[in-house]
């Protein structure tokens, strides 16, 4: 909750002067109900544009009007009077909140923020952590004014819209430095890591900026030149290669004349590169994501997992993750134990799971999982939120379905 702590500090600094000056006038509510602190100075802006309404304080937590802010951010809101639930949607992202329940969902993944939404004068308010942790925008109080900006505190998607992830022959390259980036010419991808995933090796040659070789095939490219060498032939690419962040990139479609591959980008930004060996007719599936909404990609410690093997799916209002696959990617080994459906061990840490049981063993302690493990196609799956309890791993999912899992070092 580093973001929440940072925002609380910013609030304290931003309101320190005005609270001191108006200490005698500011309303105080010992029960901690939301109160408006200095009506004339609690305004809100989104990307520099003043919006209707003001924020409230509940203890040290900033509470903001969800309808006004989310509509300004481009979300559509739907209110269910019977359940007191609000659903907010924008493209591939769906969020829900329920009045007086610290139970928020992002693409069906349940989160707790330490503060429930509250009604105040027929207006629904949510804590600022809803913006910083789920919507992924910045929020800062400066001189009693809440400034909201859509520039992400986390890594911003390369083109401001799509978060591209590259898979080569269905194996992910991870989300470190090897991501696609888009401009008016198309989607640009890094040549060297893709070529190495295809089995090429880099060769030193002072005549070219980049030379790659696999068996009898040699590919030679120069920055800024639309003519490249493939063996002893010259081939034409539509857009001249260029350097991006110190790596040579080409437009995705230009990979075909260089490496004889099929390429495609699905609607969630997953880039597929598949070898065209003369016998394979398989193409990257770009029409419909695997679940009809999101094409989930697992990235564990910056290493991608083949989406076909992971087969992530939605159930029980959460996203279900193959626990053995994640555990092995984190360095755990499977241990045979007839008393459990799955036992994983790494060093002195042992995890014990059984299908349908929410109680799991971690070392000699029992932990409660929000969603009971499920068996599907021979593999045991757990809810995404259970990764923290079992592995001490943080899991975040962006709006394109890329799930990043990391263990704090």
> The sheet that has 123-127: what strands, in order across it?
56-58, 61-65, 123-127, 118-120
Q: How far is Cα 367 from Cα 358, in angstroms, rounded to an integer? A: 8
CATH 3.20.20.10 fits 2-149, yes or no: no
* pLDDT above 90 (res 60): no
Helix ranges (DSSP H) in 219-322: 255-259, 307-310
Q: How far is Cα 186 from Cα 238, in angstroms, rounded to an integer? A: 11
Give the pLDDT band of residue 281 (cuts 50, 70, 90).
very low
Give the pLDDT band of residue 96 (cuts 50, 70, 90).
very high
Tell me the mean pLDDT in the region 276-288. Answer: 48
Tell me the mean pLDDT in the region 266-282. Answer: 66
Top mean pLDDT of 4-13, 149-158, 227-236 is at 227-236
Q: Is 328 exposed, middle or buried, given 0-12, 13-18 or 19+ CB atoms closer than 10 A?
A: middle
Give the pLDDT band of residue 14 (cuts 50, 70, 90).
very low
Top mean pLDDT of 25-29, 132-136, 272-276, 381-385 is at 381-385
pLDDT value at residue 395: 84
pLDDT value at residue 23: 31
Give the pLDDT band of residue 117 (cuts 50, 70, 90).
very high
Beta carbons of 268 and 92 less than 8 angstroms apart: yes
pLDDT value at residue 277: 61
pLDDT value at residue 382: 95
CATH 3.40.47.10 fits 165-275, yes or no: no
Task: Give residue-wise pLDDT tens across range 69-92.
Answer: 999 998 999 999 889 999 998 876
Same fold: 2-149 with 297-407: yes
Q: How far is Cα 394 from Cα 400, in angstroms, rounded to an integer? A: 18
**CATH code of the domain occupying 297-407:** 3.30.457.10
pLDDT value at residue 380: 95
pLDDT value at residue 24: 30
What does 187-243 look like in DSSP terms, one character per residue?
EEEEHHHHHHHTT-EE---TTSSEEEEETTEEEEE-TT-SEEEETTEEEE-SS--EE
Tell me the mean pLDDT in the region 169-183. Answer: 68
Higher pLDDT, 328 or 9: 328
* pLDDT above 90 (res 156): no
- What does the mean pLDDT of the chain come to? 79
Q: List the chain domain ranges.
A: 2-149, 165-275, 297-407
Positions of E strands within 15-164: 43-46, 49-54, 56-58, 61-65, 76-80, 85-90, 93-98, 101-106, 109-111, 118-120, 123-127, 138-142, 145-149
């Amino acid at each position: 909750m580093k973001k929440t702590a940072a925002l609380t500090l910013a609030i304290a600094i931003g309101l320190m002067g005005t609270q001191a000056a108006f200490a005698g006038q500011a309303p105080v509510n010992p029960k901690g109900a939301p109160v408006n602190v200095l009506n004339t100075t609690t305004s809100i802006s989104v990307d520099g544009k003043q919006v209707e309404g003001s924020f409230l304080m509940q203890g040290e937590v900033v509470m903001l009007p969800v309808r006004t802010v989310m509509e300004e951010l481009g979300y559509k809101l739907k209110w269910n009077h019977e359940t007191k639930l609000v659903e907010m949607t924008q493209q591939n992202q769906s969020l829900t909140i329920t009045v007086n329940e610290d139970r928020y969902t992002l693409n069906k993944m349940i989160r707790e923020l330490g503060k429930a939404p509250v009604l105040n004068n027929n207006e629904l308010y949510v804590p600022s952590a809803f913006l910083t942790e789920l919507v992924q925008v910045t929020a800062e109080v400066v001189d009693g004014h809440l400034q909201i900006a859509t520039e992400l505190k986390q890594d911003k998607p390369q083109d401001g819209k799509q978060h591209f992830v590259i898979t080569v022959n269905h194996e992910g390259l991870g989300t470190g430095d090897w991501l696609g980036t888009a401009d008016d010419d198309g989607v640009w991808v890094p040549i060297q890591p893709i070529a190495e995933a295809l089995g090429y090796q880099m060769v030193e040659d002072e005549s070219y900026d980049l030379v790659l070789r696999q068996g009898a095939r040699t590919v030679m490219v120069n920055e800024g030149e639309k003519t490249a060498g493939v063996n002893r032939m010259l081939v034409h690419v539509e857009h001249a290669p260029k350097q991006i962040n110190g790596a040579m990139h080409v437009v995705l479609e230009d990979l075909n004349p260089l490496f004889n591959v099929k390429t495609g980008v699905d609607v969630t930004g997953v880039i597929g590169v598949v070898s065209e060996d003369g016998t394979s007719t398989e193409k990257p599936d770009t029409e419909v994501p695997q679940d009809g909404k999101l094409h989930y990609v697992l990235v564990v410690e910056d290493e991608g997992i083949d989406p076909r093997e992971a087969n992530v799916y939605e159930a029980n209002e959460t996203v279900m993750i193959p626990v053995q696959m994640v555990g092995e990617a984190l360095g755990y080994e499977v241990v045979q134990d007839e008393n459990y459906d799955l036992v994983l061990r790494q060093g002195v840490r042992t995890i014990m799971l059984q299908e349908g049981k929410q109680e799991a063993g971690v070392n000699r302690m029992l932990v409660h999982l929000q969603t009971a493990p499920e068996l599907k196609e021979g593999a045991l799956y757990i809810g995404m939120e259970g990764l923290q309890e079992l592995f001490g791993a943080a899991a975040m999912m962006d709006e394109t379905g890329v799930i990043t899992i990391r263990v704090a070092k």
